[in-house]
Each structure stands twice: as structure tokens, then as C-alpha cells.
């Protein structure tokens, strides 16, 4: 009984995987995230305001701006253009907001 040469099968499998990754990446279905693309949730802290308690804030504003979009609090980073994200809690539930209208496109 003759044995098969496994080298072409292995090369075909590796080539198929690489081709699939390249096609998915080129169509935008695969995004390789970089560390500078994200903000850790642990970088944010909520200061609870209680009557009679003192708390101090820094004089400089954070480089993030929050806006209410469709009832969800969205953070936009002003230092890195195009970087935005939804603020979530530790169970990945979106932080809701109220009192602001959904931003509309300017009417001409």
C-alpha cells in the first residue's frame, strides 16, 4: 500500500486559511484591533454626588466627549479622530441617557 504525500495537503490548508483571512479583511469583515483603538472601561470612574460631601475635579477636561445617541451614551474621542464607543457596565449593558434628542442632520 502506498503512502500519500502530506505536504501538498498541509500547504493547501495553510493557503486556504490565508486566502480566507485576506478576503475577509479586504471586505471589512475582519478588523485587527490595535491597543490605541480602545479605551478601557476601568479608565472611567463615576463620582457619586451626595449632599454635603466634597469632591474635587481636575481643571483640564478629558479628551472624550459624551453624547446621547438613540438613548445610549456614546463617547467620542477628540484626540483620535474617528474613535468612538458605547459606554457599557461590567455586564456589557449599554449606559442609557435621557433628556437629549437624537442628533439630526442639518437641514438646508
Alpha-carbon distance 67 to 71, whole Å?
A: 9
pLDDT, one tens digit per residue, over 38-88 is 555 456 667 777 888 887 778 888 788 888 888 888 888 787 776 678 888
pLDDT, one tens digit per residue, over 11-31 is 999 999 999 999 998 988 887
For the chain, give the number of residues.
108
Cell of 12: 493547501
Report the pLDDT value the prediction gives residue 37, as an integer from 0 to 100. Answer: 59
Query: Taking a C-beta distance cutoff of 8 angstroms, is the pair 46, 34 a contact?
Result: no
How deeply is 54 buried, as exposed, middle or buried, from its count of CB atoms within 10 A (0-12, 13-18, 19+)? exposed
β-bridge partners, 67 = 74
Report whether pLDDT(7) > 80: yes
Amino acid at each position: 500500500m502506498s503512502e500519500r504525500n502530506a505536504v501538498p495537503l498541509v500547504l493547501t490548508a495553510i493557503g486556504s486559511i490565508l486566502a480566507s483571512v485576506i478576503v475577509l479583511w479586504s471586505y471589512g469583515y475582519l478588523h485587527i484591533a490595535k491597543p490605541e483603538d480602545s479605551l478601557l472601561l476601568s479608565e472611567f470612574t463615576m463620582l457619586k454626588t451626595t449632599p454635603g460631601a466634597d469632591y474635587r475635579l481636575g481643571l483640564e477636561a478629558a479628551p472624550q466627549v459624551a453624547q446621547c445617541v438613540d438613548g445610549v451614551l456614546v463617547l467620542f474621542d477628540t484626540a483620535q479622530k474617528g474613535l468612538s464607543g458605547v459606554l457599557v457596565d461590567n455586564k456589557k449593558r449599554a449606559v442609557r441617557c435621557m433628556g437629549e434628542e437624537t442628533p439630526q442632520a442639518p437641514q438646508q
